[in-house]
Amino acid sequence: MALSFPVPVLLGLLSLILQHPITSSTVVGAIRLSLVRRPTSDLPIFREAPAFRNNEQCPDGIVHITMTLDANYLRGTMAAVLSMLQHSACPENLSFHFLSAHSSSELFSSIKTTFPYLKFTIYRYNTSRVRGMISRSIRQALDQPLNYARIHLADILPDEVKRVVYLDSDLVVVDDVEKLWNVDMEGKVVAAPEYCHANFTQYFTHSFWNDTSLSRTFDGRNPCYFNTGVMVVDVDQWRRGGYTQKVEDWMAIQKQKRIYHLGSLPPFLLVFAGKIKEVDHRWNQHGLGGDNFEGKCRNLHPGPISLLHWSGKGKPWLRLDSRKPCVVDHLWTPYDLYRSSRHFLEE
């Protein structure tokens, strides 16, 4: 049943987002409205973001954040990065690790010119690692090799990275991401919000559930759905436990006997469901992009919100550009650094 969407909730959330306005006291220099040089005809143009600095009470330390980097989702990535910087008490402690299917100097230039002060590294993801293991899912976007890069984080990131916050590109963070980073893992490999009210059986086929040699993997577990677009991962434990191979083993079974329909999520559930550290739901207000077929508008779930996630088919930048936005898409707009030629002329 759809939830009603009272106006006070939206106004309250907008107030939360704007509680740290971009002012000269929080940035070095003023925002320059000039546009960065466009690297290629395929990449969007972005306004340069301000430089966010640590306050005097910030401790030493690094918060490692990992995201994939795709030209088709670059506008979303830029908005996500800005949201984290703007709401972080210690933004200079954030270090971004981007995984890209292409060794692209244009992508590097786009990030560097948009965020001149950002600490980041781009890693080349070899898509051949999974290309022969991917089974067709219900939506083409879910079948892209880069969507499986999260499986190989432990192999790509340097050894000194022991823990990461993995985030999708279709979200914004409206709280200090360091709070998520500091979650007590309690010895677990993955931490994420769990949704035990969801119908867990729907993520797998009848063939899976009817084959006890497969379905018994959940014996002794209380498996619940979790969204792999927002996770804290103990990379050290992942390496020691050989979890990349465990996920790939299920992908190999899927190629022989179709046991699920939904991209890279089900093999994660097969390995980790019922074994993760639960995080407060405020850290993934997911499903704002609607379902995987039509991307219809959805309302916010009740309760406090630290992260807004447009998982599903509908993406806020596409719906805004088509002039058919959902109400929740306007919560994404304050972080959009994109400037079209029309905006350039207006400025």
Provide the CB-side half-sphere exposure for 136 (13 A, CA).
0
Mean per-residue pLDDT of the chain: 86
- Asked if residues 204 and 266 have their Cβ atoms less than 8 Å apart, the reply is yes
- Asked if residues 289 and 315 have their Cβ atoms less than 8 Å apart, the reply is yes
Letter string b/e over residues 293-311, b meaning 16 or more CB atoms within 10 A of that residue's CB: eebebbbbeeeebbbbbbb
Provide the CB-side half-sphere exposure for 297 (13 A, CA).
13
Provide the CB-side half-sphere exposure for 2 (13 A, CA).
9
Q: How far is it, in rounded angstroms, from Cα 227 to Cα 204?
A: 15
Contacts of 333 (CB under 8 A, 6+ apart): 316, 320
Break the chain down into helix, strand, coil percent, rounded to 5: 40, 15, 45
Q: Report strand pairing: 94-100 vs 119-124.
A: parallel
pLDDT in tens, 24-60: 333 332 333 334 444 445 788 999 999 999 998 999 9
- From first to last of its 347 residues, the chain has per-residue pLDDT tens of 444 445 454 545 545 444 444 333 333 323 333 344 444 457 889 999 999 999 989 999 999 999 999 989 999 999 999 999 999 999 999 999 999 998 778 999 999 999 999 999 999 999 888 878 877 765 565 678 899 999 999 999 999 999 999 999 999 999 999 999 999 999 999 999 999 999 999 999 999 999 999 999 999 999 999 999 999 999 999 999 999 999 999 999 999 999 998 788 999 999 999 999 999 999 999 999 988 677 789 999 899 999 999 998 899 999 999 999 999 999 999 999 998 644 544 44
Instruction: Name the helix (H) or strand (E) containing 130.
Output: helix 128-131
Q: What is the DSSP letter of 234?
A: E
In single-letter form, the type of residue at position 246 comes to: K
CA triple 276-120-102, angle to 5 deg: 90
| pLDDT score of 22 | 36
| pLDDT score of 140 | 65
Q: Take residue 7 and report the two structure tokens written for it.
A: 């106006």
Secondary structure class of 185 (helix, strand, coil): coil
Q: What is the DSSP letter of 322?
A: T
> Among the residues of 257-315, which ranges form H helices?
265-272
